[in-house]
Amino acid sequence: MTLNIALVAGARPNFMKIAPICEVLKNKSDIEYKVVHTGQHYDENMSKVFFDQLGIPKPDVNLNVGSESHAVQTAKIMMGFEKFLVENKQDIVVVVGDVNSTLACSLVATKLHIPVAHVEAGLRSFNWNMPEEVNRVLTDRISDYLFTSCEDANENLIKEGFSQDKIYFVGNVMIDTLMKFKAFSDKSDVLDVLGLKTKDYAVLTMHRPSNVDSFENLSKLIDALKVVQDKIPIIYPVHPRTKKRILDFGFSETLDEMKNFKIVEPLGYVDFLHLMDNARFVVTDSGGIQEETTILKIPCLTIRNETERPVTITKGTNVMVGTDKQKIIQEASNILNNNQKTGKTPVKWDGKAASRIVEILLKEKNI
């Protein structure tokens, strides 16, 4: 008996999560799998480079949905994915993370009575203004297999009334990818290209709508970064949506005047991992980077008011600073004065999450 699996990815964070699953699946003779790229992220720097660097097979189908409003994008994904599933019989649909592709494909599979496995289930920010929170909660509700990355995710699901029979604590697939490519990333020349010295710069990532679509919040963050960059150079691989907002809100001139603030194009996974691993600290609104900095033991300042990954705070190197100018400046100063969190490695963040996921699916399907 052969198990047919559809593995869905749509946006940059998804690619790092499906890569280790693909790696395990390709060595299983009793599994046939197809990679479905929804095209939610379509820019070459946000998509193709990750497939190339991470060794993800060329997608069996690309839905090419592009950038749209949440409703339009979700609808286009559902229409394209339904056509794919009707034409290609699948036993399980595996979705990862919390982007629109995650929810859209889960809905389609559920209505076609195909079991759904959600990788990274149970994460909660408890902020319903975040579209990702809506996506992750609804995806969990209709999934048949809930693969969790941390113990607090298990607790969230149990509190919400999920049966423990559906919950599988497997660890973090993002960390599988990091551990595999860490040594390879050490050979990157990105520091030389950008003219940087190890531990003599900070890295910024910023893309969430709550930060970049709000003139007030983006203004406060830039004010804080203006002070911090006087103390240490800041490198910002700019996200396309943020680049547009900077122009729309008229912040370009301010940023040009910040001589230690360097904007660069988005980087591939290997170069960005090397950049992050050698930074003094990272400022971010990304969930995945909160996890990666915890493993790398790099101090992380999260410019959000809540996180769906609290384990990075309780056990890791993460500090929540929101958009509070003084708090950002103070925490950055603490790090520069060698007064930072060191952190510990969370349970099961050991590079084996993808293997656990595949073994569970095979066992549950009696293969």
User: Looking at the annotation, which residues are catalytic?
Assistant: 207
Q: Hey, how many other C-beta atoms are within 10 angstroms of the C-beta on 55? A: 13
User: How many Å apart are CA 101 and CA 78, to the nearest integer?
Assistant: 8
The answer for residues whose C-beta is within 8 angstroms of residue 13's C-beta and 6 or more apart is: 97, 99, 174, 286, 287, 288
Q: Rounded to 5 degrees, what are φ and ψ at 18?
A: -85, -20
Report the candidate in 173, 177, 149 with the shortest Cα–Cα distance to residue 346.
Answer: 149
Q: Is 148 helix (H, G, I), strand (E, B) or coil?
A: strand
User: How many Å apart are CA 226 and CA 254, to the nearest integer?
Assistant: 9
Tokens 């399980």, residue?
92
The answer for residues whose C-beta is within 8 angstroms of residue 122's C-beta and 6 or more apart is: 140, 146, 148, 152, 153, 154, 155, 156, 157, 167
User: How many Å apart are CA 173 and CA 18, to the nearest integer?
Assistant: 8
What residues pair up with 35 in beta bridges, in sequence order? 7
Q: Rounded to 5 degrees, what are φ and ψ at 246?
A: -60, -40
Burial of residue 163 (CB within 10 Å: 0-12, 13-18, 19+) is exposed
User: How many Å apart are CA 28 and CA 285, to the nearest integer?
Assistant: 37
